[in-house]
Amino acid sequence: MKADILSRAVRIEERRAVAAFADTLRRRLVLYVAGCDRSVAELAQLTGVEIKRVHYHVTQLLSLGLIRVSGGHARAGRAIKRYRAISEAFFIPDHVVDIDPRRTLQVELKERLSEALDRTRTGTLYSVDDQGMPRMTPVRDRAQKASIALERWHVLRLQKDDARQLTSEINRVFDAYLLRQDSTAPPYFLHVAIAPSDGR
């Protein structure tokens, strides 16, 4: 299926259009109208961003040729326009990218995580566990209402088969929640990573 999507994807190499995909909000706006028509109001609801700001970015995406007006309907005052991306998929070769797109997501995730976790955080406890392994544990004010946010870091000593099994289990959890998505629900960042710490 990935090869089929790649064969249908529009190739993007023009610098300004590439930069639009490096911007988190603009990238989401393009992808929210990839394959379906949406109004600015619907996009504002999906992104949780003020409607005037969404309108500005939609206008910029129109000028870049990444989205188009797909229709609309009249109402008292101004007509409501609907927008659609020029394709259901886009391919940007690595040689035209200044910043790895994962970096922009990492920055946004870090900001959102800090906002959510810092509300209840009072400090960090450094210690060792029962096996003498170093631990770094955030200390939280229990009286404060906890947000729906989580960050955990661990160095696990695993055999390769166990690391493969963990990777497989993480993928299963991701896939299960991808199937449960609700387009009317608020978005949550989810980032899980596993990698050998010695470069193997």
State the pLDDT at residue 130: 85
Q: Are residues 84 and 116 in the same domain?
A: no
On the CB side of 48, CA atoms within 13 Å amount to: 7
Q: Is position 106 within any domain?
A: yes
Instruction: Inform me whether the pLDDT recorded for 97 exceeds 90.
Output: no
Q: Are residues 39 and 112 in the same domain?
A: no
Q: Are residues 87 and 109 in the same domain?
A: no
Q: Which tokens go with 104? A: 């922009």
Q: For residue 60, give its domain range.
A: 2-96
Q: Are residues 81 and 106 in the same domain?
A: no
- Cβ atoms within 10 Å, residue 54: 22
State the pLDDT at residue 145: 66
* Antiparallel, parallel or unpaired: β 134-140 and 121-128: antiparallel
Lowest-pLDDT choice from 5-19, 46-60, 127-141, 158-172 = 127-141
State the pLDDT at residue 105: 75
Instruction: Inform me whether the pLDDT recorded for 83 exceeds 90.
Output: yes
Q: Is position 128 within any domain?
A: yes
| Helix (H) or strand (E) segment spanning residue 70 | strand 67-73
Rounded to 5 degrees, φ, ψ at 85 are -70, 155
Q: Is position 191 within any domain?
A: no
| The total number of structural domains that make up the chain | 2
Instruction: Inform me whether the pLDDT recorded for 63 exceeds 60.
Output: yes
Q: 49, exposed or middle or buried, with CB in 10 Å at 0-12, 13-18, 19+?
A: middle
**Interval 195-199 mean pLDDT:** 75
Q: Is position 197 within any domain?
A: no
**Interval 26-46 mean pLDDT:** 93
Q: Is position 71 within any domain?
A: yes
Q: Is position 188 within any domain?
A: no
